[in-house]
């Protein structure tokens, strides 16, 4: 019997899963969705948060699993909201962020993909520089309507190729290349 999924994506965020599934499919990786609530520690490090979440996810599903943690780091706000991006989005949203940002709009989006199976844990991170738009553009989810990646004129929400250039794509690509090599070495 053929395995249905190569790895599971643990999250309660279906949007992140949909993006990750589409990206990993390009590398031939079948991604299943493990809908769950994960313990999220308070830390100023998205790497530490992702590491904690992936070990919690593996303890729940007992299968190879990945989680993604990301953060929007705004230079003029000393990196805020950073690892608290999800909470800040739920409380003040894009409108609140736009009110906080002054004329200095530089920012970066960071993503960490954490993998865990019964033998190992591995982290893959990526960052993309950009800026915060002056107003909301597009109907994407999360901070997509206000983040303009470097070298682009439109927000993530308006870009047709977001899944080819985003922070999440870059981190998932690192994971995928590692995972494919790992699988090939197992089956040699």
pTM for the model: 0.91
pLDDT tens per residue across span 30-60:
999 999 989 888 899 999 999 999 999 999 9
Both structure tokens of 176:
């995928």
CA distance 37 to 14: 12
pLDDT tens per residue across span 130-181:
999 999 998 888 999 999 999 999 999 999 999 889 999 999 999 999 999 9
Does residue 120 or residue 184 have the better pLDDT? 120
Q: In terms of Cα–Cα distance, which of 70, 40, 72 is closest to 54?
A: 40
Query: CB of 27 within 8 A of CB of 176?
Result: yes
pLDDT of 2 > 70? The answer is no
| Sign of the dihedral defined by the CA atoms of residues 156, 113, 172, 58, in that order | negative
| 70 flagged as catalytic | no
- pLDDT at position 148, please? 97
Query: CB of 138 within 8 A of CB of 145?
Result: yes
- pLDDT at position 182, please? 85
pLDDT of 23 > 50? The answer is yes
| CATH numeric code, 7-186 | 3.90.950.10
Domain ranges of the chain: 7-186
CA distance 57 to 64: 9
pLDDT of 20 > 60? The answer is yes
Partners of residue 70 on adjacent β-strands: 111
pLDDT of 187 > 70? The answer is no
Question: pLDDT averaged over the chain?
Answer: 93
What integer is the mean pLDDT of 6-17?
93
Query: CB of 52 within 8 A of CB of 41?
Result: yes
pLDDT tens per residue across span 68-125:
999 999 999 999 999 999 899 999 999 999 999 988 999 999 999 999 999 999 999 9
Q: Which of 6, 56, 69, 75 is catalytic?
A: 69
């Amino acid at each position: 019997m053929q395995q249905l999924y190569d790895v599971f994506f643990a999250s309660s965020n279906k949007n992140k899963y949909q993006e990750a599934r589409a990206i990993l499919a390009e590398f031939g990786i079948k991604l299943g969705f493990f809908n769950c609530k994960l313990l999220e520690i308070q830390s100023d490090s998205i790497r530490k948060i992702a590491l904690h979440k992936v070990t919690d996810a593996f303890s729940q599903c007992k299968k190879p699993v990945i989680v993604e943690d990301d953060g929007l780091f705004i230079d003029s706000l000393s990196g805020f909201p950073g690892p608290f991006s999800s909470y800040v989005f739920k409380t003040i949203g894009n409108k609140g962020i736009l009110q906080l940002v002054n004329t200095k709009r530089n920012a970066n989006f960071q993503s960490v993909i954490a993998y865990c199976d019964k033998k190992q844990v591995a982290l893959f991170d990526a960052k993309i520089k950009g800026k915060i738009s002056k107003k909301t553009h597009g109907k994407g989810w999360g901070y997509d309507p206000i983040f303009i990646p470097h070298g682009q004129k439109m927000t993530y929400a308006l870009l047709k190729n977001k899944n080819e250039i985003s922070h999440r794509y870059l981190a998932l690509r690192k994971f995928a290349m590692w995972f494919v090599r790992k699988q090939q070495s197992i089956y040699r």
